[in-house]
Structures are given as C-alpha cells and as structure tokens.
C-alpha cells in the first residue's frame, strides 16, 4: 500500500485500540498499523493486566469509567474471551495513623465519580454517606462473576471482619479498602480480539519500522519505513509506547514524557499461601524488610546492599494468576523508579525477586516460607511511559494530521478502550467527550495548568 487514510505507528494495545475504533466504529477504510515487532510484545504483554476506576483525579476517573464500559461491553460481545473478572483491588494498612487519611482519600475518590463509599465500622452495619440509614454487610468479591457486582468501595475498619475475609493476612491489619469496579483480564486476548475485528474491518498490519516522516507546510505527508517503502497519508498516529518521544521527534515535536522501568515476578506458590480466589492486594505502608540478624550484618557490609536495610516505600502488591490448577501469583513493587533510557530487553535487578517476596510477606506472613528459596516462573519488566502528572496523551500534535495516543504509564491496558476511542474521535472530528481537553498535549500551553502541576498531589499510580 502506498497511500493510507491513517497510518498508526505501534501495534501495542494503544495502537490496536485506535485502529479498532477508527475501522470498526467509524468505518475509516484504509488504516495501516505498523510495528517492527509482533503485535502486543513490547510493553503490552509485560503488564499485570489489572484494571480499576479508583483514581485520585476526576479526569482519570471519567476516562477509566468510560474505558471500563468498553471492557465490559467487549466482554459481553465476545463471550468473555479475555477472562475479565471483577475481584476488586484491596488496599490494606496496619498503621492506625493512616486510617483517617485512607478514609478521607476514599471519600474524595468516591465523590470524583468512582462510586459509593460504604464504611463498615463493625460486622453488621455500614455507614454510607449517600444513604446514612442503610445497613448491609460487606459482600465478598465473586471469583469469576462480573454482572451485578457492587460499585464504589467498601472501607472495612473492623479487624475481625477483615481477618474473616482475609484470614491469611498480617493480623496487625487495621483497615482494608476494597475498591469494587476493579479486577483483571488477559491483555493479550483482549488485544487479539480487537486486532481481529480491526483486520476484519480492513486494517492492514505491516511488520516494519517507522524511520522518518516527511512534513510539508506543517502537514504530515509521507511515512517512510526502514525497509525502504513509504506511505503517503494525511493522518499519522504515534502510539509507539516507550518510543513515544523518539517517534514524536521524527516530527520535530518534543513530548513531556519519561520512561520508568517496572518489574514483576511470577511466583510458583506451591504451598498455596495465596488463595486462588484472592483479589488484587496492596500493602499501603512503607516498611523495612524482614532480615535475620546475620543477614542484616552481611548486607550492611557492602555499599551495594546496604540500601536493603533502609525503609522502602508503600505499594507492594500481588494477585493470583491463571485458573484451575495454576499456582502462579504475580508480585510487583516499584521501590526504585527513576527516569531511564529505554533498553530492550530491560536490565533486571538481581535483588528484585527476593525483595518483593520479603516485602509482601509483611502483608501475607506465610510468604516467609519462600525466603531464599522462591521458585520464580517468570521475571520480566517493561517501561511506564508517563507525563509529569501521570495523565495520558490522546489527541492532536502541533503538526497538522499528526496525533498521539500513549503515555499510558502503568494503566495502558485498562485505559485502552477510552484512549483509542478518544484518539479516533479527534481524528474523525466526531463528538469529543467533555474530558478530552485533559488529555491533549495542548493542556501544557495553559499557564494555569502549569501552575497546577507544581502542586500536583498523589498520581494514584501503583
């Protein structure tokens, strides 16, 4: 093909969802997806594939609610080919001093549109700000069911109720926040489902690298490929994941994004420490790792290992992976993240598997059985490509006919439905949602927004 209506660089989940929305929903005829790798194999298959509408930012709550509408719709349409569940995310703390803050932030997120907050002070009642007279028990998450599940979140403040629901937990726990429009799915299967439909609607996938882009009179003209081919087009979408800025610079546009390396391990939980029906579980307290006295003195000896004795941040999390006879549990903890150059495959920190197992033993003490002898089925990682405030980029670039869909950080799979829809709406100039302006590059031109960025709070990223 030497001409196309739209050329998309990147067949990760962002590019595929954009292609799907353009071809399947808007009927755009000649859409070409270009990727130098097989689809979904750079970042989109490194994810822990979880989703949530629970974000401390009104714009993100709206984007995610919309995106989850798409996920739920695709699950219904496909007979749930991509195994969407709704187990929830549960955030735990053992620190009394954090409970008020947890409650206040939950109230704020609820008011931003993430759904009702139900506060369970004891085993039989809850106080709901919306309906103060209502009484109900905390409903445990369904293992596989999605329909008819509660929305919003349940804040459990009764230790005995928390331990009844999660008997394997650290008994010092004092609060648990169970966010309900959350769970996980197979990102690979979702991506392939969308790609198949896009291809059936005429999208062409080309294995090549976008090497250069000709611009004439500030308008996109031709996309040049590493193989020597070229495609004339009036519309180019940059969905290049961690190479977002690299590809943007081919257009002479610099994007305010950085890349952070995030790692994960798949542990063989042969002792069955983490129940297979568990939700995604997050430990909210910073912590120092449990080491024996002998280990501590060994680690203290070298500058390379001394940091392992320091306090490490909050946010260690895990979830069971796979159905039936699977023993796999995914463990993640972003205790060291700085902006980095992209190296593929990424360098893996030799300490990470042991550190993440020890860190999560603070939440689930029986994980101690794996200290020094964890059997790791998979250890990999990828890049969170993110803006300073962690909102994504979807919309036009300052070159006419050029668009971006990316900077989706640690939430690109869950956001894909709405991000592809939003990018396609910009391209086809059809009915932008009212949240569109929060995600354009042009937001950074607004001095008020620049001021806001200086005092930006928690981005809610795990």
Minimum CB distance to ligand FAD smaller for 9 or for 128: 9
Cis previous bond, 305, omega within 30:
no
- In the complex with ligand FAD, the residue whose CB is nearer, 174 or 257, is 257
- Beta bridge partners, 31, equal 6
177 phi/psi in degrees, rounded to 5 = -110, 115
Quick one: 10 or 150, whose CB is closer to ligand FAD? 10
Judged by beta carbon, residue 157 or residue 329, the one nearer ligand FAD is 329
**200: Cβ contacts below 8 Å, ≥ 6 apart:** none
- Looking at the Cβ atoms of 21 and 264, the one nearer to ligand FAD is 264
Residue 271 contacts residue 369 (beta carbons within 8 Å) = yes
Choose between 4 and 173: whose C-beta lies nearer to ligand FAD.
4
* Min separation Cβ 451 and ligand FAD, Å: 28
d(CA 396, CA 423): 8
Q: Quick one: 35 or 158, whose CB is closer to ligand FAD?
A: 35
Return the number of the residue (34 or 329) whose C-beta is nearest ligand FAD.
34
Buried b (16+ CB within 10 A) or exposed e, 213-235: bebeeeebebbbbeeeebbebeb
Smallest separation, CB 223 to ligand FAD (Å): 9
Closest CA to 152 of 108, 197, 186: 108
- CB of 343 vs ligand FAD, minimal distance in Å: 13
As measured in angstroms, the least distance from the Cβ of 425 to ligand FAD is: 18
Shortest Cβ distance from residue 10 to ligand FAD (Å)? Answer: 3
Ranges assigned E (strand) in 94-245 = 117-120, 153-156, 175-179, 182-184, 204-207, 210-216, 219-225, 230-233, 236-238
Q: 190: which strand partners?
A: none
Q: How remote is the C-alpha of 66 from its chain's centroid?
A: 15
Q: How far apart are CA 381 and CA 330, in angstroms?
A: 12
CB of 253 to ligand FAD, least distance (A): 15
Taking the least distance from each CB to ligand FAD, the nearer of 86 and 138 is 86
In the bound complex, what is the minimum distance in angstroms from residue 55's beta carbon to ligand FAD? Answer: 12
Distance CA 153, CA 296 (A): 40
E runs forming strands in 158-225: 175-179, 182-184, 204-207, 210-216, 219-225
- DSSP output for 28-94: -S-EEEEESSSTT-SSTTTS--EEES--SSHHHHHHHHHHHHHHHHHHHHTTSTT------EEEEE-
Q: How far is CA 21 from CA 66, 72, 99, 243, 433, in A?
A: 14, 16, 42, 22, 15
* End-to-end C-alpha distance for the chain, whole angstroms: 42
From the CB of 309, what's the least distance to ligand FAD, in Å? 25
Please report how close the Cβ of residue 460 comes to ligand FAD at its closest, in angstroms: 13
Q: Which is nearer to ligand FAD, 49 or 354 (CB)?
A: 49
**CA–CA dist 454, 459 (Å, integer):** 13
CB 418 → ligand FAD: shortest distance, Å?
12
* Residue closer to ligand FAD, measured from CB, 65 or 161: 65
Min dist. Cβ of residue 163 to ligand FAD (A): 27
d(CA 321, CA 274): 11
Binding site for ligand FAD (CB under 6 A): 9-15, 34-37, 42-44, 46-51, 209-210, 239-243, 247, 262, 264, 381-382, 406, 408-414
């Amino acid at each position: 093909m030497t001409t196309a209506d739209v050329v998309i660089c990147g067949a990760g989940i962002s590019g595929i969802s954009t292609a799907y929305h353009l071809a399947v929903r808007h009927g755009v005829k000649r859409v070409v997806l270009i990727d130098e790798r097989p689809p979904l194999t750079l970042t989109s298959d490194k994810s822990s594939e979880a989703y949530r509408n629970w974000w401390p930012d009104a714009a993100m709550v709206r984007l995610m609610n919309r995106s989850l509408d798409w996920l739920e719709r695709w699950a219904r349409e496909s007979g749930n080919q991509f195994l969407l569940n709704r187990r929830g995310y549960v955030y735990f703390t053992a620190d009394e001093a954090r409970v008020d803050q947890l409650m206040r932030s939950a109230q704020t997120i609820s008011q931003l549109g993430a759904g009702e907050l139900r506060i369970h002070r004891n085993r039989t009642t809850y106080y709901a700000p919306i309906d103060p007279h209502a009484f109900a028990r905390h409903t445990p998450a369904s293992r596989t069911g999605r329909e008819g599940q509660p929305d919003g979140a349940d804040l459990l403040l009764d230790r005995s109720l928390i331990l009844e629901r999660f008997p394997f937990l650290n008994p010092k726990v004092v609060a648990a926040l169970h966010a309900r429009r959350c769970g996980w799915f197979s990102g690979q299967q979702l991506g392939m489902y969308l790609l198949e439909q896009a291809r059936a609607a005429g999208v062409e996938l080309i294995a090549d690298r976008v090497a250069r882009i000709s611009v004439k009179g500030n308008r996109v003209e031709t996309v040049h490929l590493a193989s020597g081919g070229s495609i004339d087009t009036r519309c180019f979408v940059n969905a290049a994941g961690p190479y977002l800025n690299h590809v943007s610079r081919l257009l002479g546009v610099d994007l305010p994004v950085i890349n952070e390396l995030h790692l994960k391990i798949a542990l063989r939980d042969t002792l069955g420490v983490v129940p297979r029906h568990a939700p995604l579980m997050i430990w909210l307290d910073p912590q120092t790792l449990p080491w024996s006295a002998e280990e501590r003195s060994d680690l203290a000896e070298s500058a390379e290992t001394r940091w392992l004795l320091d306090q490490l941040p909050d946010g260690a999390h895990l979830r069971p992976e796979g159905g039936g006879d699977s023993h796999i549990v995914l463990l993640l903890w972003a205790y060291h993240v700085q902006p980095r150059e992209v190296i593929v495959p990424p360098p893996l920190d030799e300490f990470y598997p042991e550190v993440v197992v020890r860190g999560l033993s603070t939440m689930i003490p029986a994980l101690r059985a794996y200290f020094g002898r964890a059997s790791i089925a998979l250890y990999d990682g990828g890049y969170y490509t993110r803006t300073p405030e962690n909102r994504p980029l979807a919309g036009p670039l300052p070159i006419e006919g050029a668009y971006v869909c990316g900077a989706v950080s640690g939430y690109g799979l869950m956001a894909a439905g709405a991000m592809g829809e939003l990018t396609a709406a910009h391209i086809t100039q059809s009915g932008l949602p009212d949240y569109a302006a929060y995600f354009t590059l042009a937001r950074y031109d607004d001095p008020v927004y620049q001021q806001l960025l200086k005092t930006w709070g928690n981005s809610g990223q795990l």
